[in-house]
Amino acid sequence: MFAQALPAIINTTSPRAWAFALIGIHEYLRRFAGDRKANQVREELATRLLTMYQRNRTDGWFWYEDSLTYCNAALPHALIMSGKWIPNRVMMDAGFESLHWLADLQRADAEGGHFVPIGSNGFYKRGGERARFDQQPVEAQAMVSACLEAYKISGDKRWHKEARRAFEWFLGRNDLGIPIYDPTTGGCRDGLHPDRPNENQGAESTLAFLQALMELRLAENALQPAEEMVP
């Protein structure tokens, strides 16, 4: 299935499809590093993302498109990861720059600066008004994953803190101060409206929470022994 998907992804036009493919290709290449075709596809897709970023980036707008929509953090995540392992320093720098901008953009002005993802009810077009709601669990999960990858590659603890900030959105550190994760069911609510959470607990939302939790726990387990060695 992976071999059949590789040529197909080249014909797609969605930068998010490219980003998710790059994350998957990276995991594959950790086991089969010598696969020439997979390496070629990675370089092709990562170059496309970098080109989009360079075309759209302006002062005050460090992004790949003229709008922010869904799973935004997947784009810098893929570019940071690809830039590290191709290797290509320009790609990696662009990924870090865009993730830094996104992290600052998705932080509340209130004390503590909780995570505020781009709302799905209108998203955020350059020069327009940003949608505050509805906030989706996949945005927090994508941000957790991207920041943990940035932390793994750079060693900068700021990124671990950003990952924690995004994860705490699930636990109630959000605009309404209401948990999105429901410990009584083990499920995750489908989002945050202006006045209430969406009480439906769908598979996508629950998987978003579980993946974010798993990745954060793995990262913290890896971090703890290193910190214990510091005198």
Neighbours of 203 (CB within 10 A): 9
* Residue 155: inside a domain: yes
| Structure confidence by residue, pLDDT tens digits, 72-81 | 999 999 999 9
* Residue 153: inside a domain: yes
Q: In 3-state terms, what secondary structure has residue 135?
A: strand
Provide the pLDDT for residue 127: 95
Q: Concatenated DSSP letters for 50-90?
A: HHHHHHH-BTTB-SSSSEE-SSTTHHHHHHHHHHHHTT-HH
Mean pLDDT of 215-220: 93
Q: Is residue 229 predicted with pLDDT exceeding 60? A: no
Provide the pLDDT for residue 103: 98
Count of the separate structural domains present in the chain: 1
Domain of 214? 106-223
Q: Where are the beta strands (DSSP E) in 117-164?
A: 124-125
61 has which bridge partners? Answer: 58
* Residue 10: inside a domain: no
Provide the pLDDT for residue 86: 97
* Residue 196: inside a domain: yes
* Residue 54: inside a domain: no
Provide the pLDDT for residue 225: 46
* Residue 142: inside a domain: yes
Q: Is residue 212 predicted with pLDDT exceeding 70? A: yes
125 has which bridge partners? Answer: 67
* Residue 15: inside a domain: no
Chain mean pLDDT for the chain:
94
Name the DSSP letter for residue 182: E
Provide the pLDDT for residue 224: 59
In this structure, are strands 191-192 and 181-182 parallel, antiparallel, or unpaired?
A: unpaired
Q: Is residue 151 predicted with pLDDT exceeding 60? A: yes
Q: Is residue 50 predicted with pLDDT exceeding 90? A: yes
Of 134, 138, 118, the residue nearest 126 (C-alpha): 118
Provide the pLDDT for residue 203: 97
Q: Is residue 146 predicted with pLDDT exceeding 70? A: yes
| Sign of the dihedral defined by the CA atoms of residues 71, 150, 162, 168, in that order | positive
| Structure confidence by residue, pLDDT tens digits, 22-39 | 999 999 999 999 999 999
**For residue 94, what pLDDT band results from cuts at 50, 70 and 90?**
very high
Q: Using only C-alpha atoms, what is the Rg of the chain?
A: 18
Provide the pLDDT for residue 230: 40
Provide the pLDDT for residue 10: 95
* Residue 27: inside a domain: no
CA distances for 121 relative to 42, 101, 103, 136, 193, angstroms: 33, 21, 20, 10, 10
Provide the pLDDT for residue 221: 86
